[in-house]
Amino acid sequence: MSAKPTSIDDYHAAQAPADRAVCDALRPALDAGLPDAESRIWHGHPVWFLGGNPIVGYGKQKAGVRLMFWSGQSFETEGLAPSGSFKAAVVLYTSADDIDNGALAGWLSQSRDIQWDYKNIVKRKGRLDRLS
């Protein structure tokens, strides 16, 4: 991608066909699983927020499209790999056929109930608190 996308539609349009198919499959699943979430481009990638807190997003990586749940390391359902030094966890898709809709629905359900407060991490000087 050369220019930063300004909308999720722009982001999808800039992807290669196989990656676009993954993005096009993820977006409606995320919208359905988090109907009250705000979705927008954040740091160059599509991200869904609840109460201003980032919940889930995806982005193109060399190996495929990475779906990231900001609080995913705390989920009880398996299938996500830890990512980074906080509580995020990810899964990588190389094809839309790789998406397990049952697992995705489970992660989305847990993402509502299990949230760490990324919205205020800077204010708390890097300390991450769990939201109730």
pLDDT for res 14: 96
pTM of structure = 0.88
pLDDT digits (tens, 9 = 90+) for 97-123: 999 999 999 999 999 888 766 666 667
- Amino acid identity of residue 104, one-letter, is L
Per-residue pLDDT tens digits for 55-102:
999 999 999 999 999 999 999 989 999 998 788 999 999 999 999 999
CB within 8 Å of 115: residues ≥ 6 apart: 50, 53, 55, 70, 71, 130, 131
Reading the block at residue 99, the tokens are: 């998406």
Domains and CATH numbers, the chain: 8-131 (3.90.1150.200)
